Amino acid sequence: ILLTLSAVGLILWQCAELLLNYYSASVSVTVQFQKLPFPAVTICNINPYKYSSMKDYLSELDKETKKALETFYGFSEGKSRVRRSVGEWNSTGSEFFKQIPLLKFEDFSKTATDLYSGQKRKIEGSVFHKDSSIVNSGDSNDIIGFQLCDANNSSDCALYTFSSGVNAIQEWYKLHYMNIMAQIPLETKEKLSYSADDLLLTCFFDGLSCDKRHFTRFHHPLHGNCYTFNSGENGTVLSTSTGGSEYGLQVVLYIGEADYNPFLVTSTGAKIIVHDQNEYPFIEDIGTEIETAAATSIGMHFTRSRKLSKPYSDCTETGADIPVENLYNKSYSLQICLHSCFQKAMVDSCGCAQYAQPLPAGAEYCNYKKNPNWMYCYYRLHEKFVKEQLGCQQICKDACSFKEWALTTSIAQWPSTVSEDWMLRVLSWDKGQKINKKLNKTDLANLMVFYKDLNERFISENPANTV
């Protein structure tokens, strides 16, 4: 009997070991040295649209923003900008700005001061602090924010407060800005943003000259016209057979700081992202910012990864098994799924689409004129999304296969003090300006993107046992 029990125990142990081994996977790492395909590199100016072109569309918003700054911080401009006519453009006018003014909340009381009119109003609703802690601005007990109410139920409101006046004013400005931009046709916005001739001063790839014909325009809702080098849209993907900073992509960018929107962006430079030709460039999420008056070198290491799907992991091969429509017309990724899922929830709940993401079929972008409740609805919905209450994080999965470029960034002063004079004169000449109107170094950014070496790393999972 004892021998029989021992044999049965041994058999059960072996079965358990086999079962565990079957559902386990080993990871193999392979390194190859070869000619590598060069990734797509998408470049955007941090400022999406030239302020000289946009200020007429934003004149009422800018006027109220300046009034709020003057009221609360004593800030005022020396000279006001002169407004020009803009054809048939019609703003929603002061009524829109009266609906959601910038407010000063005093000592968490039930009253707030409208920074534009100076009038006090009663406030009700849940309080959402948009930062982890409250740091008072102005008077010791003053907090800046705004109130959003349900257009169908004025007693259902939410108060959004911020840790500083800077954060509050920027968030409030962007809210109104998106509402205005949603009403401007795409063709018009493309003209208001930067052309390839505006952005690109010089270009070299693998030591050979390149130009705007090697870049594909890509209009981003938040970043305006962006330009992708080596997009592969013509069916050809460039490759490189030599590593090092002398090879790869080298561009000098014209940033044009003087034409920046002072309320929309508070930093100067460009934003870039390195990605596969079939991937959507989520530049707002994972883009790298590069400085003006500097040479930014970005060295790359390339890795391909592949995970096993079910039963070994919960990844997806193509996204076809995910019940979320891909709105981006690019290969599946977790980010695409999450953004598409939120946009679908936005259309279902609010009746219109959020401006920063692609349009689902039959939907329109939200604007206050057609959708007076969209801002309140959007903030409430986004709050649920962040708290993982919409179900998007539960539905969306990682992709089983993906490519990754690990980036190492270094920065040097550029141009140097001794070469600054002649370089700026030559670049001014190249840009077509008169020689006595040379560029300023804060208008320029030098970017280099290259493989540090040609080692391709391949990481894959393999079943420990197969049947």
Higher pLDDT, 54 or 84: 54
Ranges assigned E (strand) in 239-339: 239-240, 249-254, 270-275, 288-290, 294-306
**Model pLDDT, residue 399:** 96
**Model pLDDT, residue 117:** 73
User: Mean per-residue pLDDT for 76-101?
Assistant: 51
pLDDT range class, residue 295, cuts 50, 70, 90: very high
User: Mean per-residue pLDDT for 418-441?
Assistant: 80
The yes-or-no verdict on residue 345 having pLDDT over 80 is yes
The yes-or-no verdict on residue 135 having pLDDT over 60 is no
The yes-or-no verdict on residue 23 having pLDDT over 90 is no
Q: Output the six-digit token pair for 9.
A: 């125990």
pLDDT range class, residue 26, cuts 50, 70, 90: very low
Task: Write the CA distances from 112 to 97, 98, 125, 176, 232, integer angstroms.
Answer: 16, 14, 13, 20, 54
Ranges assigned E (strand) in 130-170: 142-150, 153-161
Q: pLDDT tens across 85-97, in order?
A: 334 434 444 555 6
User: Mean per-residue pLDDT for 17-30?
Assistant: 54
The yes-or-no verdict on residue 450 having pLDDT over 60 is yes
Q: How far apart are CA 402 and CA 233, in angstroms?
A: 20
The DSSP output letter for 365 is: B
Q: pLDDT tens across 299-320, in order?
A: 999 999 999 888 888 899 999 9
The top-scoring range by mean pLDDT among 19-23, 27-31, 114-118 is 114-118
How is the chain split into domains, by residue range?
36-50+194-308+400-463, 58-78+90-183, 334-392
Omega of the bond prior to 281 within 30 degrees of 0, cis?
Answer: no
The yes-or-no verdict on residue 119 having pLDDT over 60 is yes
Task: Write the CA distances from 435 to 177, 417, 427, integer angstroms.
Answer: 37, 19, 10
Residue type, 23: Y
Q: pLDDT tens across 239-280, in order?
A: 998 888 888 999 999 999 999 999 999 999 999 999 999 999
**Model pLDDT, residue 242:** 87
Residue type, 171: E
Decide if 279 contacts 237 (C-beta within 8 A): no
pTM, two decimals, is 0.85
Higher pLDDT, 158 or 91: 158
User: Mean per-residue pLDDT for 124-141?
Assistant: 53
**Best CA proximity match to 176, nearest among 92, 255, 105:** 92
The yes-or-no verdict on residue 339 having pLDDT over 80 is yes
Q: What CATH topology corresponds to 36-50+194-308+400-463?
A: Acid-sensing ion channels like fold (2.60.470)
Alpha helices, H only, 55-185: 59-73, 94-99, 165-181
The yes-or-no verdict on residue 137 having pLDDT over 50 is no
Lateral strand order in the sheet of 288-290: 215-220, 224-229, 40-45, 270-275, 288-290
**Model pLDDT, residue 138:** 42
